[in-house]
Amino acid sequence: MGVSGGRPSGPKGYPAMPYPVSNARRVMVTTVPFGTVDPAPLRLLAEAGIETVINPLGRKLKAHEVADLIAGFPVVIAGTETITAQAMAARPELKAICRVGIGLDSVDLPAARRLGIAVTFTPDGPSPAVAELTIGLIIGLLRQIGSADRGLHQGRWVRHTGTRIAGSTVGVIGVGRIGRRVIRHLLGGFPGVRILAVDPCPDPTLDAVAWVEPETVWREADVITLHVPLTADTVNLVAARELALMKPSAVLVNTARGGIVNEADLAQALTAGTLRAAAVDVFCEEPYHGPLAGLDSALLTCHMGSMTADCRARMEIEATRDAIRILNGLAPVHPVSEEDIDNAERLARR
């Protein structure tokens, strides 16, 4: 089934038909898993009469594999694999890339704009899950859960003396969808926590936090958690200089994007003991095989901030709905903004 009769209006703020309708009603799903948590996205595609092929390799694609796999498909429902300008240019039939997730650094956005390829994402879907994982990682670091677990598996019974969130100073860098949720969890669950917040646009309604400059967070926070996008302004936001300013007893959490923290500098600080511990969910190269994997003070997870059943399902459904809209000649609900593309262009020029 497709859209028949009069053409429906586009979402509020968007024209009804800004994209050409493709004659080929086919979608390649490169992200995996897909449709396993909830079959709804597959059902939506089938009901729309769209042929769907799911990544036959069953793993994250390497950049050089993308062009071949997406050949003949006007729309790609993508994950975190790198989609280069070369891959897009090699496929003139490509009309849209619908990202399952919030990060946009894996797609060459300026090239997509030049080539007339629409790019969408799912900014709201992952927020609840990432915020909850962040709180879990903070607790894991402060109570040394990872160290206790590894020790016990190796036959060592060591009772670590940790620190509570309540009574700690937590620095939140970036107060957007996820950072705001983290703050609400902290204020609601840990009476006595002191929160320092950094954002280009401070929100006066969050009167229980102190809006400060980054220098204050580096120097005063017991816990620092990052919730900013990867842009030209945030690449290596946390590197040797910032790590040297932090308390030796402090811990760092990155559930945002790889590249925001300089991984080599972080490994050096943890090895030297100038930083107590760090939790990292996102890396410059994934799967990750770097020096942090050999450090007991590094708590590492596999880019799984959004990986809860409800949030994963919501992201897949939102990306699918935008894919269907585009194939029907309608504007997507969640297109990337011109600001996002301009930021990507600045990042590429660094």
Walk across the sheet containing 26-29 and list its strands: 51-54, 26-29, 75-78, 96-99, 118-120
CA distance 234 to 256: 11
- Which residues, other chains included, contact 10 with Cβ-Cβ below 8 Å and sequence gap of 6+? 16, 17, 18, 330, 331
Tokens of 290: 């770097």
What amino acid is encoded at 291 in this protein?
Answer: P
The answer to whether 176 touches 227, Cβ cutoff 8 Å, is yes
CA distance 174 to 65: 34
Say whether 286 is catalytic.
yes
Which residue among the candidates 65, 93, 132, 286 is catalytic per the annotation? 286
Tokens of 29: 């799903």
The answer to whether 335 touches 120, Cβ cutoff 8 Å, is yes
- Which residues, other chains included, contact 126 with Cβ-Cβ below 8 Å and sequence gap of 6+? 101, 102, 178, 305, 306, 311, 315
Which residue among the candidates 257, 312, 321, 325 is catalytic per the annotation? 257
The answer to whether 222 touches 234, Cβ cutoff 8 Å, is no
Burial of 275 (0-12, 13-18, 19+ CB in 10 A): buried
CA distance 245 to 43: 52
- Which residues, other chains included, contact 305 with Cβ-Cβ below 8 Å and sequence gap of 6+? 126, 129, 130, 133, 134, 255, 281, 282
Say whether 303 is catalytic.
yes
Do the strands 251-254 and 223-226 form a parallel or antiparallel pair, or are they unpaired?
A: parallel
Which residue among the candidates 303, 314, 321, 325 is catalytic per the annotation? 303
Closest CA to 173 of 111, 256, 249: 256
Say whether 289 is catalytic.
no
Tell me the catalytic residues: 257, 286, 303
